Amino acid sequence: MSPEIPEEGTKHAKRSYHHGSLHPALIDAGLALARTGGPSAVVLRAVSREAGVSHNAAYRHFANHEDLLAAVGERAMAELGRLMLHRMAGITAPDEARLAQARLAAIGRAYVDFALAEPGWFRTAFSGATAHPHPPAAGAHPPLPEPPPDPLPEPPPDPGTDPFLILGAALDHLVTAGTLPATRRPGAEYAAWSAVHGLSALLVDGPLRTLPEAEARRAVESVLAVVARGL
Amino acid sequence: MSPEIPEEGTKHAKRSYHHGSLHPALIDAGLALARTGGPSAVVLRAVSREAGVSHNAAYRHFANHEDLLAAVGERAMAELGRLMLHRMAGITAPDEARLAQARLAAIGRAYVDFALAEPGWFRTAFSGATAHPHPPAAGAHPPLPEPPPDPLPEPPPDPGTDPFLILGAALDHLVTAGTLPATRRPGAEYAAWSAVHGLSALLVDGPLRTLPEAEARRAVESVLAVVARGL
DNA sequence: TGCAGATGTGCCCACTGTCAACATTCCGCA
DNA sequence: TGCGGAATGTTGACAGTGGGCACATCTGCA
């Protein structure tokens, strides 16, 4: 209304009408809000406010609220993938077979640990409409062809951090190490992923939410053991 | 404002100021809304409208929106349990061992089928704060002691329809049939439940949402096979 | 230099959950 | 029988939400 002087940069130093990089700034702000409050905290207006911009500015970068939430969820998913990779990298074993097994268990543990340590991000990662275009994939995975460098503004945010692909690689390793019969490889990710994701969901949001820490730990190991035996 | 004649019963016949049984009516209305729209469709005002009552009337029966949603979720959960029981009842087998195995598979299939057939209810059942007081239960389940008939207005809505308890009974059956070593019984529900719940969540809301029907079927069987082998 | 498209702002709307004040009805007790 | 308190429903208001529109401001390219 009144021609008040707008305080000259309320958070970000140089900002005169044009933010410069609102798109990533909005995602970052959303990620911060999602971390503590889950997907429902990723409120368009709060995100815009956090980015030092009026609501509605976001509509220049995202089609709608759902679109923004999906972008934030994708980042949260990548965060999960990053933890899986990190844990996997720290594993050593006397032979290839045991290495492959230990790695599978490690990424499984990482999955649940992430859900428990960052429930806000976990919920957000799976709340969005992040419709993975995972094709049937009932066969073997070639090592990430990724033929056309599609001209999207955002390069697919680290294709290496996709939890599903990380799991697939771990299962492939199990095959080459001779631990998993090749005939059982197709579809194996469904069982492994489902078990670990289900436990995470039940512990974070579901009826197992009240399980005491120690019992939860035991449940994780129990689930991992069943999967290892059953694959 | 103006003293208009209020149409005399807009849906339920006799209703003059007092509804008579608003509490269950609200839950029923919520259940109907949840079925098609999931938990986010269980809107306080819409539910009240559906029950033929002004918004805010619900506050005489539920502490807040979350409370109502939890009640609706509990009913949706019971619906899931009902399907599991129904499917289990239809199973026959030449001997006890195979019967127990087939039953376990049947309730697992029922779980996923329910999620796929009634995604709205499935989401609602697990969205609410229905904090099951499932204690550690790492031991054996005595056959539902249920000692004090607690004076709650709502008798625990059919204790027999609790999916978790149904699963526990099926696993117990596996033990008595000699298929599952008793030493492996503790914690077995975690693996079984997690696998089936995880697959459901991934198929309904998660990255596997775009999986074609046939592939989804295959994934279910794959997951069930791994669990059966791994338990 | 000028102007078209990109980006950000203000104002508006319908809708939501929740609160407080009020109206109506029911039930137990005299 | 009657009456008063406790349940139960209603009305109106509030702040906060996602979203649409017109307009302001800036940036890059001819």
> Does B223 reach chain A within 8 Å, measured CB to CB?
yes
The integer distance in angstroms from the CA atom of B180 to the C1' atom of C2 is: 82
Tokens representing A28 are 């970052």
Mean per-residue pLDDT for B4-10? 34
The bases of strand C with some atom under 7 A from any protein CB are 6-11, 15-21, 24-26
Which of the two residues, B15 and A26, has the higher pLDDT score? A26
List chain A pLDDT tens, one digit each, 231 residues: 333 333 333 333 446 666 778 999 999 999 999 999 999 999 999 999 999 999 999 999 999 999 999 999 999 999 999 999 999 999 999 999 999 999 999 999 999 999 999 999 999 999 975 555 444 344 333 333 333 333 333 443 445 899 999 999 999 999 999 999 999 999 999 999 999 999 999 999 999 999 999 999 999 999 999 999 999
Residues of B in contact with A81 (CB under 8 A): none
d(Cα A189, Cα A132) in Å, to the nearest integer? 15
> Does B153 reach chain A within 8 Å, measured CB to CB?
no
Does B3 score more than 80 pLDDT? Answer: no
For B162-217, how does the pLDDT look when each residue is reduced to its tens digit (9 = 90+)? 999 999 999 999 999 999 999 999 999 999 999 999 999 999 999 999 999 999 99
Best A226, A227, A229 member to test B by mutation, with max B CBs in 10 Å, is: A226
> Does A126 reach chain B within 8 Å, measured CB to CB?
yes
Of A194, A76, A114, A172, nearest in space to B193 by CA: A194
Q: Nearest residue to nucleotide C23 when comparing alpha carbons to its C1'?
A: B17
Residue of B nearest to A229 (CA): B230
The nucleotide whose C1' lies nearest the CA of A58 is C8
Please name every residue paired with A1 in a beta bridge, in sequence order, or none if there are none: none
What pLDDT, on a 0 to 100 scale, did the predictor assign at position B20? 81
Q: Label residue B143 by pLDDT band (50, 70, 90).
A: very low
Torsion angle, CA of A79/A81/A87/A91, rounded to 10 degrees? -160
What pLDDT, on a 0 to 100 scale, did the predictor assign at position A129? 56
Does B139 score more than 80 pLDDT? Answer: no
Q: Which residues contact A2 (CB under 8 A, 6 or more apart)?
A: none
**Nearest CB to B197: which of A201, A227, A229?**
A201
The nucleotide whose C1' lies nearest the CA of A63 is D19
Residue A205 C-alpha, separation from nearest chain B C-alpha, in angstroms: 7
Q: Nearest residue to nucleotide C26 when comparing alpha carbons to its C1'?
A: B18
